[in-house]
Amino acid sequence: MTDTAAGSVKLERTNVRSIARAPLVEAPFATTVVELGRERPDIVVLSADLSKYTDIHPFAETFPERFFQLGMAEQNMMGVAGGLAKTGFCPIAVTYTVFATRRAGDQVQMALATGHRTAVIAAFLPGITTPFRASHQGTDDLAIMRAIPGMTVIDPMDATELSAALRAAVSVPGPVYLRGLRASVAEVLVPPYEFEIGRARLLREGSDVGLVGTGLGTQWALEAAELLETRGTSAAVLHVPTIKPFDTTAVVEFASHFRALVSVENHSVVGGLGSAVCEAVAGAGMACRVRRCGVPDRWADAGPLDFIRERLGLDGPSLATSVVDNQEAAR
Amino acid sequence: MTGVIDHWSKDVEYDLDDVALRIRRRVLDMCLGRGQGYAGQGLALADVFAHLYFRVMRRNPDGSLLDRFVLSTGHSAIALFATLGELGVYEEEELRTYGQAGSRIEESPLEGTPGFEITGGSLGQGLSQAVGMALGERLRGSGAKVYCLLSDGELQEGQVWEAAMSASHHHLDNLVAIVDNNHMQADGAPAQVMEVEPVVERLAAFGFVAERIDGHDHEALRRVLPHASVAQHGPVAIVLETVPGKGVETFEHHHKVHYLRLTRDVWDEAIAELG
Ligand SMILES: Cc1ncc(C[n+]2csc(CCOP(=O)(O)OP(=O)(O)O)c2C)c(N)n1
Ligand SMILES: [Mg+2]
């Protein structure tokens, strides 16, 4: 990491690969959760009939006595996780985003968030990474979880960060909501990478426009920035993996260099990263035009990820256009 | 449900074995496009869908359904789509776009898609809406019955039992719950994942008149699923013992029958096997 010299932003820059050249890592969550199981005898994992679909099957096979299959019953699973936490274990309750935050939302809040004990809710299929529409696309989970007192909310951008964030999550007091990425996951951040809860990272320097991303949204922002560069626009990208606690300082510092910002997230434009950026910028009294790019306020389409991104204006070229439009509007 | 049904008449007594076979053919045909889908469920449910849609449920003079069907198990939509195709609600060509980007023949559709009364897929919720419909139809005095299909995996969701409790408390003699007891869920067999048996006794304890039958036995289906005009006493539950992939030998023993992703030649063999 080097201090920014060429760009105008005074934040340390973290190294990233070009999205197109990022290698794929197989089941990074599985690897890390098994490592943690070896290191920490207090780690227990819970599943609601999705162990084969959420990269925790290897843990179940390696540590059968510390793996609890609870069937398709997410509300009960969160309650059971609360009980395990109260007996000194660190539960990692794993399901899909929608079932963790909608179906078992009250149980998450009462059983895991009113106390101070460490517990991880690992939620797979974030945002539009599933073709099943309203029933499986978790496009409101960050908003829901962000509103819970004491909840830490993390949306990792790649394999490196997912593993690092899981390690961090089992080591902080209180509940952590961690979005998971399964199967083959791109490795964009170049290891070694130090993840720190609540800390944003500058991934790309630039002097003309600023993009702020979280989760896969950061990959999409980087794609847009690469495109913009070929068109002569220098775009900076700030990555905000922790939605809560929010790195207001970094976002405000980043925003101070631009007239306009574009936020990019794999989530609704209501209540997630974009909202948090607006809160930070407005809270600091800055005049900065923020364009929130994410899932618009409607049920998203059905289909493969690339198809849905195009439909929602979240593909690289559409995002680049949004950035330029927002910049024009801010003139 | 749209009123467009070209291929059904109340005056015809259908050969339901044949209807079920045609539904099965459509199920396989629907999966050819992407080479994948919930064919296992579609094949397993063809028999009960043939009975429900071609014999049991009543229709209004305009062809729309008087009785109502609630599909709780969203991913089993393929069986309903294929049945609706058989009724002429959907064209074969459109059904072939099953699961494709932007198609309304979704693997797990939302309510408002013709023939789909609720958004299933977030499993374990359908029976509650069926209870609400049964209460509403009773209040309206329509005489309509409500049929709800749910799966054995769904029985693990607490909401199902909240719904069951409310069904018997409110003496819903116009509600029929049909359980697709296929001994399969995402992580394996319920017996290993989370035991749901004894299903019949549990449903009976919650106030249902419950019975278990072979879900592919047409005589048994006729007996436990009488024409909707036949009176019942309180909520009824029918536990269907089904075989995922029924009718295609290789699918019946396929370890990934919960969701099949196969090469074209395997699909072609299956189609040939079905005849
Ligand atoms: C509330 C909820 N939890 C988890 C899932 C993920 N999921 C999809 S299918 C499935 C297994 C369902 O088993 P079953 O309902 O018996 O269906 P079958 O495999 O027999 O078709 C699971 C857990 C879901 N769709 N809804
Ligand atoms: Mg099942």
* pLDDT at residue B4, rounded to an integer: 54
- Cis peptide, bond prior to residue A241, ω within 30 of zero: no
Give CA separation, A319 vs A209, A222, B158, in Å.
12, 10, 43
Which ligand 1 atom is at minimum distance from the Cα of B153? Answer: 16
Tell me the two tokens of residue A80. Answer: 């059971």
Q: How far apart are CA A255 and CA A271, in angstroms?
A: 19
* pLDDT at residue B6, rounded to an integer: 67
DSSP of A18-72: -GGGPPEEE-HHHHHHHHHHHH-TTEEEEESS-GGGTT-HHHHHH-GGGEEE--S
- As annotated, the residues of chain A forming the CATH 3.40.50.920 domain(s) are 194-329
| pTM for the predicted model, two decimal places | 0.95
At B197 the three-state DSSP class reads: coil
Taking every pair of C-alpha atoms in chain B, what is the biggest distance, in angstroms?
53
- Cis peptide, bond prior to residue B114, ω within 30 of zero: no
Do B60 and B66 touch, CB atoms closer than 8 A? yes
**Total of domains in chain B:** 1
* pLDDT at residue B1, rounded to an integer: 41
* Residues of chain B that touch chain A, judged by Cβ-Cβ distance less than 8 Å: 74, 99-103, 106-108, 110, 119-124, 153-154, 156-158, 185-187, 190, 192-194
Hey, what CATH topology would domain A24-186 get? Rossmann fold (3.40.50)
Q: Which residue's structure tokens are 């999205």?
A: A19
* CB within 8 Å: A304 and B186: no
Taking Cα atoms as reference points, which of A221, A138, A149 lies closest to residue A181? A138
Q: CA of B111: which chain A residue's CA is closest? A: A134
* pLDDT at residue A66, rounded to an integer: 98
* pLDDT at residue B3, rounded to an integer: 45
Do A241 and A154 touch, CB atoms closer than 8 A? yes
* pLDDT at residue A6, rounded to an integer: 39
Task: Determine the distance separating the centroid of ligand 1 and the alpha carbon of A165, expressed in angstroms.
Answer: 28
Tell me the two tokens of residue B238. Answer: 């029918």
Q: Which residue's structure tokens are 């920014």?
A: A4
* CB within 8 Å: B100 and A103: no
DSSP of A80-101: HHHHHHTTT-EEEEEEEHHIII
Q: Which of A55, A98, A135, A139 to mutate to test the interface with B (most CBs of B within 10 A)?
A: A135
Q: How far is A298 from chain B (nearest CA, A)?
A: 13
Q: How far apart are CA A218 and CA A28, in angstroms?
A: 18
- As annotated, the residues of chain A forming the CATH 3.40.50.970 domain(s) are 24-186
Show Cβ contacts of residue A120 under 8 Å, excluding neighbours closer than 6 positions. A90, A91, A92, A93, A166, A169, A170, A175, A176, A178
Show Cβ contacts of residue A87 under 8 Å, excluding neighbours closer than 6 positions. none
In words, the CATH class of domain A194-329 is alpha beta
Q: Is B154 domain-assigned? A: yes
CATH number at residue B224: 3.40.50.970
* pLDDT at residue A4, rounded to an integer: 41
Q: How far apart are CA A322 and CA A320, in angstroms?
A: 5
Tell me the two tokens of residue A314. Answer: 């979240």
* pLDDT at residue B253, rounded to an integer: 87
Q: Is B215 domain-assigned? A: yes
Strands (E), chain A: 24-26, 43-47, 67-69, 90-96, 119-124, 152-154, 175-179, 184-186, 201-204, 209-213, 235-239, 242-244, 260-268, 289-295
Residue ranges, chain A, pLDDT below 50: 1-7
Give CA separation, A6 vs A189, A232, A249, in Å.
21, 16, 21
Domain encompassing residue B244:
16-274
- Quick one: DSSP state of residue A228? H
* CB within 8 Å: B193 and A69: yes
Do B28 and B79 touch, CB atoms closer than 8 A? no
Q: Is B198 domain-assigned? A: yes
The set of protein residues with a Cβ atom below 6 angstroms from ligand 1 is: A 49-50, 72, 99, 103; B 41, 73, 75, 121-124, 151-154, 182, 184-186, 258
Mean pLDDT by 10 residues, chain B (275 residues): 63 94 98 97 98 97 95 98 97 97 96 96 98 97 98 98 98 98 96 98 98 98 98 97 97 93 97 95
Taking Cα atoms as reference points, which of B264, B259, B208 lies closest to residue B233? B208
Tell me the two tokens of residue B8. Answer: 């059904």
Mean pLDDT of chain A: 95
